[in-house]
């Protein structure tokens, strides 16, 4: 099974996305399953993980409806209010009845407080999430959030944590430094996974190749192992730097030479396990 573990849809006339402004150019538009479908078929992708784009019930409801209409959407990562525990439980009671609802994400990188996710109320909310058997996608944008992953992993060892976009490593600057130290620290916890997604938009948008991504992917593989790494396109955000086909092709080039088992894990096995697809 081939899995794209990170993609989005949005409809600007149906759901409010405050972060998505005209300055974002090509992604300030509507993106629907019918737009992505021919691209995943061309790449040989069997399933995708549809990830929230806003901290709202409306966005989650829209994703779950789309998941009902398209079999290739294998999992939905929605949103619940982690700081309002009664509302969170009410929402989880409802959402967990849907067979494709597998976890949640909160746009922690949009919060003014970089330590938002480790405040006591958020920790308690994540403990509630874990009690439902759901996972948590961590939008850990280096340097503000990746350092918190070990704290979350220790405090909630029964919660599957999935680091989005390798926490946006400094690929454009061609350095690793503190990012590498923090990623290695997070990888020590067996309940932590990471996504090889959004890496092209962490590189030089106008001039990137597999060679730019490979050192960061290799470092992640060294510490997580292929069984806890997963490919994600980050479509349509990835189109800021290139098209779907090239993201798929360059990622495959960057992992070429690994064993068949490792490649199978990165391109599907790890995501299928983490999201119970």
Domain 3-274 adopts which CATH fold?
TIM Barrel (3.20.20)
Residue 114's φ and ψ, nearest 5 degrees, are -65, -15
pTM of the model: 0.97
- Please tell me the number of Cα atoms within 13 Å of 252 on its side-chain side: 14
- Average pLDDT of each block of 10 consecutive residues along the chain (277 residues)? 98 95 96 98 98 98 98 98 98 98 97 97 98 97 95 98 97 96 98 97 92 98 98 97 96 97 98 98
Q: Which two tokens stand for residue 14?
A: 């149906």
Distance CA 52, CA 179 (A): 25
* In contact, 277 and 6? CB cutoff 8 Å: no
Distance CA 3, CA 73 (A): 10
The pLDDT, as a whole number, for residue 206 is 86
Distance CA 135, CA 155 (A): 14
Distance CA 160, CA 175 (A): 29
Length of the chain: 277
């Amino acid at each position: 099974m081939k899995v794209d573990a990170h993609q989005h849809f949005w409809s600007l006339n149906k759901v409010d996305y405050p972060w998505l402004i005209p300055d974002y150019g090509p992604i300030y538009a509507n993106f629907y399953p019918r737009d992505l479908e021919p691209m995943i078929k061309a790449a040989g992708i069997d399933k995708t993980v549809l990830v929230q784009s806003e901290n709202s019930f409306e966005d989650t409801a829209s994703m779950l409806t789309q998941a009902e209409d398209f079999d290739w959407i294998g999992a939905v990562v929605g949103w619940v209010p982690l700081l309002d525990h009664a509302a969170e439980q009410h929402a989880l009671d409802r959402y967990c009845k849907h067979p494709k609802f597998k976890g949640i994400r909160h746009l922690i990188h949009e919060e003014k407080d970089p330590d938002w996710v480790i405040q006591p109320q958020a920790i308690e909310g994540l403990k509630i999430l874990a009690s439902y058997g759901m996972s948590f996608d961590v939008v850990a944008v280096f340097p503000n959030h990746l350092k918190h992953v070990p704290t979350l992993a220790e405090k909630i060892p029964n919660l599957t944590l999935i680091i989005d976009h390798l926490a946006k490593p400094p690929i454009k600057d061609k350095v690793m430094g503190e990012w590498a130290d923090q990623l290695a620290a997070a990888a020590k916890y067996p309940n932590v996974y990471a996504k090889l997604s959004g890496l092209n938009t962490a590189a030089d948008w106008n001039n990137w190749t597999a060679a730019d991504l490979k050192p960061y992917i290799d470092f992640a593989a060294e510490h997580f192992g292929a069984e806890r790494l997963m490919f994600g396109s980050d479509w349509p955000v990835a189109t800021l730097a290139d098209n779907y086909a090239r993201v798929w092709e360059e990622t495959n080039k960057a992992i070429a030479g690994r064993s068949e088992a490792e490649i199978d894990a990165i391109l599907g096995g790890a995501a299928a396990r983490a999201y119970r697809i």
